[in-house]
């Protein structure tokens, strides 16, 4: 029995020997290729940059990649090249792919600016800050300002503004959050004179409720202080709208004095609301339409300076 097993064992060894030799050869070849693979052997000479790029220079990216390739096809440090490109302010993401025998495809995803931030940076669509060396002031973007580290908060509130004012014929060109966490925005009518800016002050408290109230009274103010249209502020005489009142607002006109209508003491119907003269600081009380609200709150319209005594916060 032992003599019959000896040939069988030898056959098994002979069968596995080629597999072992092939494995050793592959390992040896891999080590050899790794040791000899330098930029002069199997170099990546064809760099192709792609992507929808408006601010990133393709030639600059190509040159940067070529200058920082430290290996050949098998040993090039793709992670290092990607990390280097991501340091560029306008670069949002990078993907790299090798193509035999000597090509490297570089796909660049560019940052999309949606707003200026503190005059020296941009905000992305996710509210992230990025700072290119040069800030192009010619872009049609709103200006956002706020304390350091508050960029996400400001961008979130800007999106609330977009949602609440979607049906109105004006745009927010500036939004500011000051150190006291008080909100202020500047609006202009769309497709009209951009110099006719209106300063809207929402303050620190109940800002979303004040914003909603502002949106409701905007058409009536447009009719009263601009031409007879509820679409916007064409030829408007409004300088400031102050919403920092418990149940009202104040308006400062661009005119030096109060309106002639108020001086005459005449009352004007405005969509069910009456405009009458008030003897205190030329404050006009605009009776609130009670169709959708049962309380007796009133709106305050100041034509000649804002009356701070009736405001709920400083």
Name every residue whose Cβ is closer than 8 Å to that of residue 236 and which is 6 or more positions away in sequence. 189, 196, 198, 222, 225, 226, 254
**Higher-pLDDT residue of 156, 307:** 156
pLDDT on residue 285 = 39
Residues 138 and 206 reside in one and the same domain? yes
pLDDT on residue 177 = 98
pLDDT on residue 234 = 47
pLDDT band for position 195 (cuts 50, 70, 90): low
181 within some domain: yes
Are 158 and 151 within 8 A, CB to CB? no
Q: pLDDT of 41-87, one tens digit each?
A: 688 889 999 999 999 999 999 999 999 998 888 889 999 999 999 99
252 within some domain: yes
Residues 85 and 194 reside in one and the same domain? no
What average pLDDT does the segment 190-198 reach? 72
Are 108 and 48 within 8 A, CB to CB? no
Q: For residue 216, is pLDDT > 80?
A: yes
- 106 closest CA partner among 89, 87, 88, 85: 85
Number of domains in the chain: 2
Range with lowest mean pLDDT among 86-100, 114-128, 257-271? 257-271
8 within some domain: no
221 within some domain: yes
Measure the CA–CA gap between 135 and 298, rounded to whole angstroms.
45
Task: At 174, list the tokens.
Answer: 């500036």
Angle at the Cα of 117 from the Cα atoms of 180 and 183, rounded to 5 degrees: 30
User: Residue 73's domain is classified under what CATH number?
Assistant: 3.10.20.310
pLDDT on residue 43 = 86
Burial class (CB in 10 A: 0-12, 13-18, 19+), 236: buried
pLDDT on residue 247 = 78
pLDDT on residue 29 = 64
Average of per-residue pLDDT values in the chain: 76
23 within some domain: no
Residues 182 and 245 reside in one and the same domain? yes
Q: pLDDT of 230-283, one tens digit each?
A: 444 445 678 899 999 887 889 887 763 333 333 233 323 333 233 333 322 333
The domain in which residue 95 lies consists of 46-110
Residues 178 and 85 reside in one and the same domain? no
Q: For residue 174, is pLDDT > 80?
A: yes
Residues 157 and 197 reside in one and the same domain? yes
Residues 202 and 93 reside in one and the same domain? no
Task: At 42, list the tokens.
Answer: 């199997």
Q: For residue 210, is pLDDT > 90?
A: yes
Residues 272 and 184 reside in one and the same domain? yes
**Higher-pLDDT residue of 81, 27:** 81
């Amino acid at each position: 029995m032992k003599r019959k097993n000896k040939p069988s064992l030898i056959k098994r060894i002979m069968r596995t020997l080629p597999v072992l030799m092939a494995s050793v050869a592959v390992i040896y070849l891999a080590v050899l290729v790794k040791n000899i693979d330098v930029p002069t052997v199997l170099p990546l000479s064809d760099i192709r940059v792609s992507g929808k790029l408006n601010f990133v220079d393709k030639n600059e990216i190509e040159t940067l990649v070529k200058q920082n390739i430290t290996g050949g096809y098998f040993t090039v440090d793709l992670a290092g090249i990607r990390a280097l490109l991501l340091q560029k302010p306008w670069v949002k993401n990078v993907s790299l792919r090798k193509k035999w025998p000597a090509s490297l495809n570089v796909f660049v995803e560019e940052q999309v600016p949606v707003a200026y931030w503190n005059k020296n940076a941009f905000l992305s669509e996710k509210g992230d800050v990025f700072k290119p060396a040069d800030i192009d002031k010619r872009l049609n973007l709103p200006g956002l300002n706020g304390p350091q580290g508050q960029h996400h908060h400001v961008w979130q509130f800007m999106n609330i503004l977009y949602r609440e004012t979607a049906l109105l014929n004006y745009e927010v060109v500036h939004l500011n959050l000051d150190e006291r966490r008080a909100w202020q925005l500047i609006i202009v009518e769309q497709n009209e004179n951009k110099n006719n800016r209106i300063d809207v002050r929402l303050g620190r408290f109940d800002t979303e409720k004040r914003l909603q109230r502002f949106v409701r009274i905007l058409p009536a103010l447009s009719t009263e202080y601009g031409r007879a249209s509820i679409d916007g502020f064409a030829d408007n005489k409004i300088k400031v709208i102050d919403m920092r009142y418990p149940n009202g607002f104040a308006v400062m006109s661009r005119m030096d004095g109060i309106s002639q209508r108020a001086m005459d003491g005449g009352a004007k119907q405005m969509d069910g609301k009456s405009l009458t003269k008030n003897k205190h600081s030329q404050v006009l009380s605009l009776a609130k339409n009670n169709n959708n609200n049962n309380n007796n709150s009133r709106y305050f319209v100041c034509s000649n300076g804002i009356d701070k005594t009736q405001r709920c916060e400083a």
